[in-house]
Structure 1
């Protein structure tokens, strides 16, 4: 998914991130309501965070880039509710736009193999596996294939790549991995900079 517009690590060519000084949590009342609806759906156990993120990732790329942040939330939430049979398209269109733009159907997940080896130790050198998932992942494209050092183990957590696509909830070790910026971006990197990325065990392999 490194080429998808939603990739966790961002995409080139969109210019600097504009920061609004003193930006409020919500710019309009409808955004507050969307936040509340999403929190309610999650609290009721109708969806999990990985499913929700993947519903947003499946938006049409043009619509994703042209719409504001909470419209991503609204589209993702509406998509999940339709897919789970809570509402149907006709109900949405009766209360919204004539053609409500829900996300595209999910592709079959291409999940990296589960953790087989012993957990990595702090200080151990690792490499991020090179893979191009068709489904959800929390492994940024820009670190795949690159080497780093485990600087912290953060306990076992369920795997987003799996829980976005199934009822399975496997848990495995997670780590904070430090990368020299030049390892990731070569001569374009800031000299002496280090990038820390939180990664699941199955994303990593030991460096011999």
Structure 2
């Protein structure tokens, strides 16, 4: 889905901040939230694509102001309410006030009906499409052309898996893009590799 979370490859945000040897957790509650989220996935309450999509569904101002583990907590709480594990009233009673949850989900979708199998060296283009549900196609490659390098094993198709829609598993293709294709006049010449699900690609002739 389009949203404020899709910042990969976007320009104008400055350098990525990095602290060497930073601790994984900064407070005890972060460890508990991480453990509860991992347990929920292990018990089959929700899957990783549902978890990611619930974070994407956060109200934009909440998403931008939240820490990593606050986003995890919001996703965990939202999905537990949606799955009937607990109620929002119980959450708010425990919190002593309002407890923000993610916004409702949009419908999912199945595999692209015209998807193809590709081989290394094939020229492809990422479909130029917008989808309201969960999608694992970063916005900066939308509509761009590249070359297939390799194929992965098949995985659950995220556009369906996040929404409980039946779909065939799909491979991802390692697609090599030229930086000039992704960011015209915007950076140094380089090759960028992105893992792209089969349904997001279509074959194009070699230039």
TM-score, normalized by length of structure 2?
Answer: 0.93
RMSD: 1.6
| Aligned match of 2:131 | 133
Tell me if the contact between 2:115 and 2:201 (Cα under 8 Å) persists in the aligned partners: no
Q: Is the aligned partner of 1:165 residue 2:163?
A: yes
Partner of 1:206: 203
1:65 aligns with 2:101: no
User: How far, CA to CA, are the matches of 1:167 and 1:62 in structure 2?
Assistant: 29
- Runs of at least 5 residues in structure 1 that lack an aligned partner in the other structure: none
- Once the 2 structures are TM-superposed, how far is the Cα of residue 110 of structure 1 from its aligned partner? 5.3
- Residue 172 of structure 1 deviates from its aligned partner by 1.6
SS at match of 2:146: strand
Residue 51 of structure 2: aligned partner = 52
The runs of at least 4 aligned residues of structure 1 exceeding 6 Å deviation read: none
Q: CA deviation at 1:116?
A: 3.8
> Contact 2:127–2:200 at 8 Å: present in 1 too?
yes
Q: Distance in 1 between matches of 2:61 and 2:111?
A: 28
Contact 1:115 1:172 in 2 (8 A): no
Partners of 1:33 and 1:199 in 2: CA distance: 33
Counterpart residue number, 2:191: 194
Give 1:107 deviation, angstroms: 1.6
Counterpart contact for 1:112–1:203, Cα < 8 Å? no
Further displaced range: 46-55 or 23-32: 23-32
Is 1:38 paired with 2:37?
yes
| 2:120 corresponds to which of 101, 122, 131 | 122
Where structure 2 has 5 or more consecutive residues not aligned to the other structure, the ranges are none
Report if the CA contact (8 A) 1:48-1:164 is conserved. yes
For the pair 1:76 / 2:75, whether they are aligned, the reply is: yes
- Cα deviation, residue 9, structure 1: 2.2
Specify the SS of the correspondent of 1:32: helix
2:150 corresponds to: 152
Once the 2 structures are TM-superposed, how far is the Cα of residue 194 of structure 1 from its aligned partner? 0.9
How far 1:16 moved relative to its partner? 2.2
For residues 117-162 of structure 1, the C-alpha deviation after alignment (integer angstroms, 9 at most, x for no partner) is 3x10011110000011101010001101000011111121110010
Partner of 1:181: 179
Number of residue-to-residue matches in the alignment: 205
Aligned ranges for residues 13-24 of structure 1 at < 5 Å?
Answer: 13-24=12-23
CA distance in 1, matches of 2:88, 2:151: 44
Q: CA deviation at 1:113?
A: 1.8
Change beyond 3 A, Cα 1:10–1:188: closer
Q: Distance in 2 between matches of 1:98 and 1:107?
A: 27
